[in-house]
Amino acid sequence: MTPQELKNSILQLAIQGKLVDQRPEEGTAAELLDKILATKNAKSAKKNLTRSRGARGEKETSALSASPREKILDDEKPFDIPESWEWCLVGDVFNHNTGKAMNSSAKATPKSGTVRKFITTSNVYWNSFDLTSLKEMFFSDDELERCSAKKNAILMCEGGAYYGRAAIWKNDYDICFQNHIHRLRPYVPICEEFFYYVFFFYRNNGMMKPKGTAMPGLSSIALHNLPIPLPPLAEQKRIVVKIEELLPLIDRYEKAWSRLEDFNKRFPVDMQKSLLQMAIQGKLVEQRPEEGTGEELYRQIQAEKQRLIKSGKIKKEKLLPEITEDEIPFEIPESWKWVRLGELCSIATGRRDANFGSPDGKYNFFTCAKNPIKCHSFSFTGESLLLAGNGDIGNITYFWGQFEAYQRTYVLQPYLEGSYLIYLYYHLQSNWVQYNTGMVYGTAIPYIRLGNVQNYLVALPPLAEQKRIVAKLEELLPLCERLK
């Protein structure tokens, strides 16, 4: 269960009356509701509160409040509640309205009043306010009662992507609010935090009824007619105490969950890296004396290379530098040998042609039939490794067939026919990017020089052991992929 699912589950239990026990001595919600409605009706009788709601032409909820309480039908009740609770409407419990529109009337007028800071939707977050940047406009004295919130009022976003988002004003001073904010004031003392959690649960579970799709809005009428559960006052407080006792535990759970999620995301990649590292260090499979040594394989490769030079199939190149102790990155088995990549493969680059692809570091190779170019220097056939020498430096692919390569795509072809090119593919995957650190040239289009590719160090096992290493990797690496 995710932290959000756990929090959601706790809030669901809370607003359904399942988080704490019901206690007969605390009375019933019916008694509380009678008290609320009596206070509400007394205030309604004292005032004539029918007003128009700004440019939208909707009636203020205070006018709606004057109507008798409507019976909530069974199919309007979203869930079951204890017998001691009551279903009621938001408008039964709260006197609510929106604030002042920021239009031409917001400017200073001859009426008595003052310019005041006010809250809009950008200042209201779940259970908190951001008061670092408040706008200002003129409020007349007769607007202040309707457009300012006192301590413990619930302020809720009316429209847009954040409709329903709410927080309780806890400051000791009053704050004005704009017409895109609902202010909810209970008719009698209640536990505002309980209803905050009701609204939070409703909003995050699609239980509010906004209008519109591109810019959804929670109108005063929709808010007024929203069914909510009402527990006895003492039980409301006990529910909030229990919620606030559990939320810090959820926060701790969330931190542990995040660490686990991060581990789970990294594990397949880390495991893949580990397997490749073990492979090229001689730790993935055992060494077998009957399979010979890396030195013997190296001599076979050099003999074949000399044969290819004598036959004119490849050109003779300068000898690569001897490998020094300082260059060796890790220990390898005694039967293995450190060699340079250029001693195992012919390494060539592709064609420089603006119309033949783009130097983006990806593998620009095509069959000759698709893109016929009669140039031996850039046409390749057979088993090859292709390394991106610029752009996404270090990208590697194995290719078999007939193709042509773009400049800075390094093409590696083995001197000795056999499967050791696949081993080199995994070797390069294991630490090619790490090896390239500090060896990248250029700024606009960074690249790796041919000499860096030729001098790359390879831990060379006997050929039979290479085949076993490759077989083991191809057995284990797909398992890592499945875990991603």
pLDDT, tens digit, 9 for 90 and up, residues 57-73:
344 444 444 445 667 88
Compute the average pLDDT of residues 117-131: 95
pTM, 2 dp:
0.62
Decide: 390 and 436 in contact? Cβ < 8 Å.
Answer: no
Cα angle for residues 456, 460, 466 (degrees, 5° grid): 125
Residue 370 is predicted with a pLDDT of 29
pLDDT, tens digit, 9 for 90 and up, residues 370-428:
233 333 345 566 678 888 777 666 678 877 766 666 666 788 888 887 767 889 999 98
Compute the average pLDDT of residues 237-245: 97
Burial annotation 346-356 (CB, 10 A radius, 16+ → b, else e): bbbbbbeeeeb
Compute the average pLDDT of residues 193-222: 89
3: helix, coil or strand?
helix
- 41 pLDDT exceeds 70? yes
Residue 420 is predicted with a pLDDT of 78
- Architecture category of domain 3-252 in CATH: Alpha-Beta Complex (3.90)
> What average pLDDT does the chain have?
83
Percent of the chain at pLDDT > 70 equals: 81
Q: Which of 168-182, 234-248, 276-290, 347-361 bottoms out in mean pLDDT, i.e. has the lowest?
A: 347-361
Rounded CA gap, 155 and 170, in Å?
11
Higher pLDDT, 85 or 414: 85
pLDDT, tens digit, 9 for 90 and up, residues 284-333:
999 999 999 999 999 999 999 999 889 888 888 888 999 999 989 899 99
Compute the average pLDDT of residues 459-471: 94
User: Predicted confidence band at 182 (pLDDT cuts at 50, 70, 90)?
Assistant: very high
Percent of the chain at pLDDT > 90 equals: 51
Same CATH fold assignment for domains 3-252 and 281-483: yes
Q: Map out the domains of the chain as residue ranges.
A: 3-252, 281-483
Q: Among all chains, which residue has been given the structure tokens 């909030």? A: 240
Residue 395 is predicted with a pLDDT of 78
User: Predicted confidence band at 437 (pLDDT cuts at 50, 70, 90)?
Assistant: low
User: Predicted confidence band at 436 (pLDDT cuts at 50, 70, 90)?
Assistant: low
Rounded CA gap, 369 and 373, in Å?
9
With left for phi above 0 and alpha for psi between -120 and 50, is residue 334 left, alpha or beta? alpha
Compute the average pLDDT of residues 69-90: 90
Residue 300 is predicted with a pLDDT of 93
- 254 pLDDT exceeds 80? yes
- 54 pLDDT exceeds 70? no
Decide: 470 and 419 in contact? Cβ < 8 Å.
Answer: yes
Give the amino acid at 438: G
- Nearest Cα neighbor of 195 from 125, 122, 94, 98 is 94
Return the CATH fold of 281-483.
Adenine-n6-DNA-methyltransferase TaqI; Chain A, domain 2 (3.90.220)
Residue 226 is predicted with a pLDDT of 94
User: Predicted confidence band at 105 (pLDDT cuts at 50, 70, 90)?
Assistant: low
Neighbour tally for 200: CB within 10 Å = 19
Residue 362 is predicted with a pLDDT of 38
- 27 pLDDT exceeds 50? yes
Residue 357 is predicted with a pLDDT of 35
Sort 2 into a burial class: Cβ within 10 Å, 0-12 / 13-18 / 19+.
Answer: exposed
